[in-house]
A and B are shown apart, each in its own frame.
Chain A
Amino acid sequence: MGKREFTIHVGPQHPALKEPENFVFKVDGEYVVDVEPRIGYNHRGIEKAMENRTYIQNLYIVERVCGICSNSHQTCYTQNVEELLGMEIPERAKYIRVLLAELERIHSHLLWLGVAAHEIGFDTLFYYIWRDREVVMDMLEEISGNRVNYAMPTIGGVRRDIAADKIPKYLKMLDVLEERTKFYKNICATEKTVLARADGVGFLSKEDAIRLNAVGPNLRASGVASDIRADSPYLVYDEIPWNVISYDSGDVFANVLVRVDETFESVNICRYCLEHLPDGPIRTIFSPLGKVPEGEAVSLVEAPRGELIHYIQSRGTDKPYRYKIRAPTLGNIPALCEKLRGGYIADIPIVLAGIDPCFSCTDRMVFVDEDRDKRWEMNGEQLRRYGVEWYK
């Protein structure tokens, strides 16, 4: 065994989406024997930067922790600060926050579906999905004024109201999204290309998912119906009728189905929010130079990728004393390693992308033959091609 074992470095440039992360794979022929993740390539010092900025300035820094789940981070942050202030936000603001969160989930899941299609070499599907994702992006742009960093939640409420005359238009856009997602679900369930690359690939058992603390759709694809929105409801998730989606096959295909079905749920939640939007103010006043009383708080939010945890400690000044962010991908890495073990090299890109990682895309690989001291490199695009060619 020892003689034939190779080590492959995947990353640190872009192992899945466009963010840096390094994985060292021990391989035996085409099989992955062991995986060792190396994290920390993208330390940007955001937590430290937050300690040096006021609470209002931090709103926009925390939003930039992640481009795709920007609204989740901001919601989590504002919940923390509001808890310290003992502030109750207006009902209308809660509904608008939920609406934004669910639109974000739709765009994140459609984005992921496109990326997954790209990773398995099904680029036609990738382009179609991303074209139709523009509907939700346009909707977000119209509501918030920006496509990606919406800057909608603020301390005490939300910053922009939803115009009553625009609601029928938004509902129509949601109909388009639902129809298109149905079409994509049909394709994913019937198209041979998707089934051959996703069915039975990257298996994670229910026991392992719980033992390794998987979070989000990755956990729900292994048959555990756990969702922060249902387990410890925040905002108005306990007032809105919706279901927790879970599939028990535990592979990449289950991940696809969980995300597609969650998109349907999100469309329904958005519809409910738009139809039942209560009247009233959208924010309570918090002075832009305001101070926050002493104390600490933890808040949980179900980001599109899973459970997001923020911790805040205040010493009564206008800046947080300590801030800590636990993004969902960190929780998913041990489970990801378990998924990769025993699989093929050709399946690495799709399994890595399968957890919707928030680090990045396998752009450079080093193959090391330990015995012969031989070393060769491949980038992420080559790895993806290798996978596509291997399955031809």
Chain B
Amino acid sequence: MAMAKELLKNAREKPCTLLYPFEKTAPPEGLRGKHVFVGEKCIGCGLCARVCPAFAIELLGGRGPKMSGMKVYLGRCLFCQQCEEVCPTGAIKLTTDYELAVLKQEDMVLVFERKPPEAKQPKKE
């Protein structure tokens, strides 16, 4: 009769599910979600692309100062956070944004731009 008690108890309670698009729970701190990229911090070392187990990161324009941006293929990404872990300057980070559904296939690719550090280049030359 243990089950009968539980059934009566649950009949009085609200459903434990949420009406998702209208009600949301806050994601826990540290959830691995969508990427952000801070172009100013990036030094173009390309470590993130080298360690990525799913080959989801593509550097645009090659490594080093000539790197003009970065493509992150969300469809391939495993959200393992290894890119964030190896980044020496903290330029790539995962946020807690977990709503990744998109309508077009192109939107599955995040394109980040990076301006080559202009202030530093004249000094080198």
Give chain A's interface residues, CB within 8 Å of chain B: 53-54, 56-61, 64, 124-125, 128, 131, 138, 141-142, 145-146, 149, 151, 159-160, 183, 186-187, 190-191, 288-289
Q: CA of A125 to CA of B10 in the docked complex: distance in angstroms? A: 12
Majority SS at the chain B contact face: loop
The chain B residue sitting closest to A186, CB to CB, is: B2
Give chain B's interface residues, CB within 8 Å of chain A: 2-3, 6-7, 10, 16, 28-32, 47, 50-54, 78-82, 85-86
Please state if A128 and B2 are interface contacts (CB–CB under 8 Å).
Answer: no
A-chain residues with CB within 8 Å of residue B28 when the two chains form the complex: 138, 141-142, 145
Majority SS at the chain A contact face: helix
Q: Total A-B residue pairs with C-beta atoms closer than 8 Å? A: 64
Please state if B2 and A60 are interface contacts (CB–CB under 8 Å).
Answer: no
B-chain residues with CB within 8 Å of residue A124 when the two chains form the complex: 3, 7
Please state if B2 and A160 are interface contacts (CB–CB under 8 Å).
Answer: no
Please state if A151 and B53 are interface contacts (CB–CB under 8 Å).
Answer: no
B-chain residues with CB within 8 Å of residue A191 when the two chains form the complex: 2-3
Q: CA of A187 to CA of B7 in the docked complex: distance in angstroms? A: 12
Q: How far is the CB of A113 from chain B (nearest CB, A)?
A: 14
Q: CA of A30 to CA of B53 in the docked complex: distance in angstroms? A: 50
23 contacts between A and B (CB under 8 A): A57-B51, A57-B52, A59-B53, A59-B80, A60-B53, A60-B82, A124-B3, A124-B7, A128-B6, A141-B28, A141-B31, A142-B28, A142-B30, A145-B28, A149-B78, A160-B30, A183-B6, A190-B2, A191-B2, A288-B50, A288-B82, A288-B85, A288-B86
Q: CA of A148 to CA of B82 in the docked complex: distance in angstroms? A: 17
The chain A residue sitting closest to B27, CB to CB, is: A141
Q: CA of A160 to CA of B28 in the docked complex: distance in angstroms? A: 14
B-chain residues with CB within 8 Å of residue A128 when the two chains form the complex: 6, 10
Q: CA of A60 to CA of B78 in the docked complex: distance in angstroms? A: 8
Please state if A54 and B3 are interface contacts (CB–CB under 8 Å).
Answer: no
Contacts A146-B31, A288-B51 given: A60-B80 contact, CB under 8 Å? yes
Please state if A289 and B50 are interface contacts (CB–CB under 8 Å).
Answer: yes
A-chain residues with CB within 8 Å of residue B32 when the two chains form the complex: 145-146, 151
Q: How far is the CB of B63 from chain A (nearest CB, A)?
A: 14
Q: Which of A56, A141, A186, A187 contacts B82 (CB 8 A)?
A: A56
Q: CA of A124 to CA of B5 in the docked complex: distance in angstroms? A: 13
A146-B79, A159-B85, A190-B2 known; 10 new pairs, CB 8 Å cut-off, are A54-B51, A57-B53, A60-B80, A60-B82, A64-B78, A160-B30, A183-B6, A187-B3, A288-B47, A288-B50
